[in-house]
């Protein structure tokens, strides 16, 4: 049972790490400018699903945000089109920061489960030695 807890928590750690990677990528590229004839940076969203028969959670894929982005009037920008517009990603920073907090707390919770399961296993070994 202890090894099951460690294994299941490890799948949670992996999933939350991938979620953290996606959110940090979104935050890092939120202000990337593209010309209007190109696609905007597409936000990445991790898709996770429960594993079979209590095997934890697994990332099943990644979904992408809209490549249209949002048009912003910046006539002095080097990438501006003839009308003065550039394309920015359609990324909501407050939503991404909320996701960052959720992913961090989920990662920390799974790390705590691994730590407690390890302590339980070590205590059981000590009892067996006595």
Crossing angle for the helix pair 93-129 and 2-28, nearest 10 degrees? Answer: 160
Per-residue model confidence (pLDDT) at position 72: 97
Q: Tell whether the model's pLDDT for residue 58 goes beyond 60.
A: yes
**pLDDT (mean) for 4-10:** 90
Q: Tell whether the model's pLDDT for residue 47 goes beyond 90.
A: yes
pLDDT, tens digit (0-9, with 9 covering 90-100), for 13-43: 999 999 999 999 999 999 999 999 999 999 9
* Exposure b/e, 18-46, CB count within 10 A at least 16 = b: bbbebbeebbebbeebbebeeebbbbbeb
Per-residue model confidence (pLDDT) at position 1: 52
Give the percent of the chain with pLDDT over 70: 97
pLDDT band at 3; cut points 50, 70, 90 = low
- Residues 57, 110 contacting (CB under 8 angstroms): no
Q: What is the pTM of this model?
A: 0.86
Q: What share of the chain is helix, strand, coil (3-state, %, to 5)?
A: 50, 20, 30
pLDDT, tens digit (0-9, with 9 covering 90-100), for 61-105: 999 999 999 999 999 999 999 999 999 999 999 999 999 999 999
pLDDT band at 2; cut points 50, 70, 90 = low
DSSP three-state, residue 8:
helix
Q: Which residues contact 31 (CB under 8 A, 6 or more apart)?
A: 88
């Amino acid at each position: 049972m202890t090894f099951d807890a460690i294994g299941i928590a490890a799948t949670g750690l992996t999933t939350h790490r991938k979620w953290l990677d996606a959110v940090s990528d979104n935050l890092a590229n939120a202000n990337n400018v593209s010309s209007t004839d190109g696609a905007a940076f597409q936000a990445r969203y991790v898709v996770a699903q429960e594993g079979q028969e209590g095997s934890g959670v697994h990332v099943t894929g990644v979904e992408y945000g809209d490549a249209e982005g949002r048009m912003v009037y910046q006539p002095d920008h080097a990438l501006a089109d003839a009308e003065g517009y550039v394309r920015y990603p359609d990324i909501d920073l407050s939503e991404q920061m909320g996701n960052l907090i959720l992913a961090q707390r989920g990662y920390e919770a799974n790390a705590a489960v691994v730590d407690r399961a390890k302590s339980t296993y070590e205590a059981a070994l000590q009892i067996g030695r006595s």
